[in-house]
Amino acid sequence: MGPAPALMFILDDGGTYTFAANPCNDSILPDPTENELVHMLACLNGNCGEQP
């Protein structure tokens, strides 16, 4: 068994990828719920204001 799933936010800046980990984990959503995943997918599709 491994660690719980996590959603990580990685910036693609024209082929250069950036990931910033820090003690506050503002780039990682550990063990996301179904609603959190749906909301993040909506944000990626330009509908960030919508809540599931």
What's residue 52's pLDDT?
53
Query: Among candidates 2, 3, 5, which has minimal Cα distance to 33?
Result: 5
pLDDT above 70 as % of the chain: 85
Query: Which tokens in the block code for residue 36?
Result: 């959190």
Strands (DSSP E) along 4-52, which ranges? 6-8, 11-13, 16-18, 28-30
The set of residues, in sequence order, having a beta carbon less than 8 Å from that of 51 and lying 6+ positions away, is: 39
25 pLDDT tier (thresholds 50, 70, 90): low
